[in-house]
Amino acid sequence: MTRLQALRAHLGALGIDGVIVPRFDAHQGEYCAPHDERLRHLTGFTGSAGIALVTAEAAVIFVDGRYQVQVRQEVDLGAFEISHFYDFPLERWLGEKLPRNRRIGFNPMLIPSDLHQRLMAAMQQAGGELVPLEADPIDAIWPDQPEPPTGRISSFANAGEAAQSKRRRIGARLAELGADFLVETQPDNIAWLLNVRGSDVKYTPLPQSFLLLDKSGDTEWFVDERKLPNDREAYELEAVTTRSPADLLAGIAARAGGKRALVDPRFASVAAALAVTGAGGTVLSETSPITIAKAIKNSTELQGFRASHVSDGVALTEFLSWLADNVALREAAGKPITELEAEDKLLEFRSRGEGFVEPSFRSISASAANAAMCHYASSEATNAALTTSGVYLIDSGGQYLTGTTDVTRTTAFAPVSDEVRRTYTAVLKGFVALMTAQFPVTARGHHLDALARRPLWDLGLDYDHGTGHGVGHFLSVHEHPQRFGKVVNNYEFAPGVIMTIEPGYYREGEFGLRVENQVETVAAAPGFLRFETLTLAPIDLALADVSALTREEVAWIDGYHARVRQALADKLSLSARAWLERMTAAISVGN
């Protein structure tokens, strides 16, 4: 019996007609512990975002533009229909395609409140019922499901602000918002607030836990005690009571009667909101004030980011130099460098950096057509060779004790086609446009996004992903709330906000192109802001038509490359230093 068949049989035993299977865990995390990889267990899809619907008649998986190619390679297309997460989302499918009078089950710990509201409206349209389940149906058909993680928690010394100060600051903000307490379920927010880090999930140095914060600053931390050491003197846990994660909903109910609880509708499970209202409390649906505060880095955090990017730039430059020296030679010898070998080699270079802990995400080491999958991860089955006949894209990053990095470079080892050159030049121009933008403090991410897309739009081209995201400080590499993208994002920028800028272009079956730097938001003219680069690594101009660059674009690229040389040259091996000098030589064009 297949897993899909087993699930359908179990649905019959539960007396429901279908079930929703999200990629989310109870923390709405991008990276899940093996215990929580329910969507992957059911479908085989390994991406970081998606949701499935299974009924007796249909099985549909919804993924966004990053995964439209990948999902078709990983999922049984004879069993699952593929739908776009945004263009034809789950709620629309329920409202338009689901037969009437159906009962669809869901795990309320895995669905956030805003999605729950949309699903409820869709089910009403379909004349059906959305049924909360006490146990997850996937767990029932997963006999060898891994145990929940128990990674050790450590105190974090590079925070730049005491935990008690943060709790008081956030508590005061709760009072300003009219809330009595906060329900916090996002592990990165909790880690930031308590000045701790953990090891429950790969790539994110965070402990999985929940937290209730009173407006007075008093805190209940719902965390597995096995993760904490017996000696806790270094931990800033004054006025913090620890309880089991299993007690979260009871803890919410115990304090919610007649009170107003702030529950983030995008990231807190609807189970938390239902616990508040079920106990006679009122839900205040607002973005967590921790999310807002955490996005603005203090001076200690900013200094750490700058230091981590020097180490990261050294590693990436050594790696790109190694590729330049070896790809053609290894290809000619019949032993080409592969995507997985290149990924391991970059990790080897990064591991030499001071304070390096682990990658900040699974590297996208993608040769030729594989790079057309925006979030591709190489495997033994797909492990392509790096050759002189195709471009190579490497999107990678590191978790350092001082900061988190994320950078993409696209390179080639022989002259590229006119089509690659044309589109790469547009990507580069869009990248420079946003890197050099001065913008009013009232501008938002969806306003600025168009600057990076304009050169591609001029060619009648576009890309189906955002242009950038926030980055945490030795936390999650994808941090909310700021985003560059087409979707409206009404969160302001301010000095200290860390972002990525990463336009790209992808031709299915042929190539993928992306250039990405991490940046710090800084003050500019009165009432205006701009971005200052953190990433320090050369940009490969051999793929570009430099004659198509404006004087201003040339000036910025030359200035950036001069800065990279100054920061990295004396920290590199002799061969990498010589390569860097060649790659960052001033552009010589008649512009």
For the segment 92-119, what is each residue's pLDDT rounded down to a tens digit? Answer: 999 999 999 999 999 999 999 999 999 9
Residue 452's SS3 state is helix
3-state secondary structure of 450: helix
Regarding whether 458 and 431 lie in a shared domain, the answer is yes
The SS3 call for residue 260 is strand
d(CA 446, CA 487) in angstroms, rounded, equals: 6
Q: Which residues contact 144 (CB under 8 A, 6 or more apart)?
A: none
Question: Which long-range contacts link 169-172 to residues 24+ away (Cβ below 8 Å)?
Answer: 169/293, 170/213, 170/217, 170/289, 170/290, 170/293, 171/213, 171/214, 171/215, 171/216, 171/217, 172/215
Closest CA to 332 of 415, 413, 420, 392: 413
Enclosing H/E stretch for 264:
none
Query: Is residue 405 located within the same domain as residue 541?
Result: yes
Q: What is the rounded distance in angstroms from the CA atom of residue 55 to the CA atom of residue 136?
A: 15
Among the residue ranges 282-291, 370-379, 413-422, 440-449, the one predicted with the least confidence is 370-379
Q: What range defines the domain where residue 424 resides? A: 299-583
Q: Is pLDDT of 550 > 60? A: yes
Same domain for 543 and 519: yes
Give the percent of the chain with pLDDT over 90: 93
pLDDT level of residue 503 (50, 70, 90 thresholds): very high
Query: Tokens 């089950």 belong to which residue?
Result: 105
pLDDT of residue 240: 93
In this prediction, residue 590 has a pLDDT band, given cuts at 50, 70 and 90, of very low
Each residue's pLDDT tens digit, 206-257: 999 999 999 999 999 999 999 998 888 888 888 899 999 999 999 999 999 9
Is residue 145 assigned to a domain? no
Tokens of 77: 């297309």
What would the two tokens of residue 139 be? 């767990």
Q: Is residue 148 part of a domain?
A: no
Region 556-578: mean pLDDT is 98
The answer to whether 104 touches 20, Cβ cutoff 8 Å, is yes
- pLDDT band for position 577 (cuts 50, 70, 90): very high
Cis previous bond, 205, omega within 30: no
Buried b (16+ CB within 10 A) or exposed e, 62-76: bbbbbbbbbbeebbe
**Nearest alpha carbon to residue 218 among 163, 257, 259:** 163
**Is residue 466 situated within a structural domain?**
yes
405: CATH: 3.90.230.10
Residue 589 confidence (pLDDT) above 70:
no
**5-30 burial, b if ≥16 CB within 10 A, otherwise e?**
ebbbeebeebebbbbbbbbbbbbbbb
Q: Could you say which of 295, 329, 363 is where a domain stops?
A: 295
Alpha carbons 265 and 247: distance in angstroms, whole number: 21
Q: What is the CATH number for 112? A: 3.40.350.10
**What are the pLDDT digits (tens) for 250-305?**
999 999 999 999 999 999 999 999 999 999 999 999 999 999 999 999 999 999 99
What is the number of structural domains in the chain? 3
| Token pair for 49 | 């975002």
Q: Are residues 195 and 342 in the same domain?
A: no
Is residue 120 pLDDT above 90, yes or no? Answer: yes
Q: Are residues 240 and 321 in the same domain?
A: no
Q: pLDDT at residue 588 above 80?
A: no
Q: How far apart are CA 49 and CA 526, in angstroms?
A: 39
Question: Given the structure tokens 């995964």, which residue do they identify?
Answer: 67
Average pLDDT of the segment spanning 518-528:
98
Q: Are residues 257 and 225 in the same domain?
A: yes
- Is residue 146 in some structural domain? no
CA atoms within 13 A on the CB side of 123: 20
Residue 338 lies in a domain: yes
Same domain, yes or no: 421 and 552: yes
Of 260, 295, 330, which residue sits at a domain end? 295
| Extended beta strands in 485-556, E state | 498-501, 504-507, 511-514, 517-523, 528-533
The rounded mean pLDDT for the chain is 96
What is the pLDDT at residue 462?
98
User: What phi and psi, each to the nearest 5 degrees, are found at residue 167?
Assistant: -65, -40
The token pair at 230 is 């017996």
Q: Does residue 30 lie within any of the structural domains? A: yes
DSSP 282-340: EEEE---HHHHHHHB--HHHHHHHHHHHHHHHHHHHHHHHHHHHHHHHHHHTT---BHH
| pLDDT at 375 (0 to 100) | 83
Beta-bridged to residue 517, according to DSSP, are 501
DSSP for 368-429, please give it.
Answer: GGGGGSTT----TTT-PBP-TTS-EEEEE-EEETTEE--EEEEE-SSPPPHHHHHHHHHHHH
Q: 461-488, pLDDT tens digit by residue? A: 999 999 999 999 999 999 999 999 999 9
Query: What pLDDT score was predicted for residue 365?
Result: 98
Q: Are residues 400 and 509 in the same domain?
A: yes
pLDDT for the residue 591: 41
Same structural domain, 291 and 305 = no
State the pLDDT at residue 93: 93
Using one digit for the tens of pLDDT, what is the confidence trace for 309-322? 999 999 999 999 99
Can you list the positions of beta strands (E) in 190-230? Answer: 196-197, 210-214, 219-222
Alpha carbon dihedral 394, 551, 486, 530, in 10-degree steps, equals: 90
Residues 18 and 85 in one domain: yes
For residues 123 and 178, state if they share a domain. no
> pLDDT at position 245, please?
97
